[in-house]
Amino acid sequence: MDVVYFAWVRERIGLPRETVETQAETVADLVAELRAREARYDAAFEDVSALRVALDQELSDFDAPLKGVREVAFFPPMTGG
């Protein structure tokens, strides 16, 4: 599964994109796996209420199932316009 990061999430984790081998059933499960890996992930995902998630480029939420998903993106609330 491809996992991509934007803005300060990308900066905290230190990379824009990685491929993750996971059996996580939901986004929240994936976040728990990532946080357990290393301090920089733990720091980036400390407050998920400050984060947004997109599954295959559609906005989604942290309860959503990952079955069939190829790309998960984590980022802060958008500030376009």
Interacting residues with other proteins (CB under 8 A)? 4, 6-8, 10, 54, 57-59, 73, 75-81
Inter-CA distances, 23 with 10, 14, 37, Å? 23, 23, 15
Q: Three-state SS for 5?
A: strand
Q: How far is the CB of 57 from other proteins (least distance, A)?
A: 4
Instruction: Report the residue number, 68 or 77, with the smaller CB distance to other proteins.
Output: 77
Closest approach of other proteins to the CB of residue 4, in Å: 7
Q: Which is nearer to other proteins, 7 or 32 (CB)?
A: 7
- Cβ of residue 58: shortest distance to other proteins, in angstroms? 8
Task: Indicate the burial class of 80 (C-beta count within 10 angstroms; 0-12, 13-18, 19 or more).
Answer: exposed
DSSP state of 25: S
